[in-house]
Amino acid sequence: MHRSHKPVLLLALLAIVLATHRPDPCIAEGLSRQQQSALALSARDPFLALARDADVVAVMSLGSRRSYWAPRHDIILTEYRLVTTSTLHGLAPATLTVVEEGGEVGEVGLAVSDAMVFEPGKSYVLLLERRPNGLHVLRGIHGMRQLESATRQSLLRDLGTVLEARLPKGQPR
């Protein structure tokens, strides 16, 4: 290619890029940089996306648990009493009781694949929603995340970003 053709080719490429470029929808909608960052985080992690809909976000640990037979003796239930160690959003109760299918009674065990399981000595972030009969984990197992030492700081930072930039209800998410 002749040297004099390079600038023309570059200008042609630039014209094509400019003609086909669509502005970032976040900028076009007038969202702040913080909201754009929160949307990007939410797009990468479904837990963070779900956090935008939570009424309460709290860090909790297991206070106690007990497994027992349901009244008809057909399934095993486990009652977890969780203790709030910190609140990231909303008003969290000091304790929260969660009952899930599964557990062990004597030598009989029942494992349920999509049941929440809380273990002693571990901390969890719970996304909670208000219902007429109290607080519940938002979308069950999808609304909980164990805090692991390697990812604790980044998860809490990302949650903070998402929660600070929450979009008003009714706005597309």
In a domain, 146, yes or no: yes
CATH code of 84's domain: 2.40.50.120
What pLDDT score does 162 carry? Answer: 85
In a domain, 31, yes or no: no
152-173 burial code (b ≥16 CB/10 A, e <16):
eeebeebbebbbebbeeeeeee
In a domain, 137, yes or no: yes
Helix, strand or coil for residue 145?
A: strand
What pLDDT score does 142 carry? Answer: 96
In a domain, 38, yes or no: no
In a domain, 114, yes or no: yes
Q: Does residue 118 contact residue 65 with C-beta atoms inside 8 Å?
A: yes
Structural domain total, the chain = 1
In a domain, 67, yes or no: yes
DSSP 8-state assignment for residue 55:
S
List of residues 6+ apart from 133 with CB closer than 8 A: none
Q: Residue 159 belongs to what domain range?
A: 46-164
* Residues present in the chain in total: 173
| pTM, entire model | 0.76
Which residue positions in the chain have pLDDT lower than 50?
Answer: 14, 21-24, 26-28, 167, 169-173
In a domain, 14, yes or no: no
Q: Does residue 44 contact residue 162 with C-beta atoms inside 8 Å?
A: no
What pLDDT score does 161 carry? Answer: 85
In a domain, 5, yes or no: no
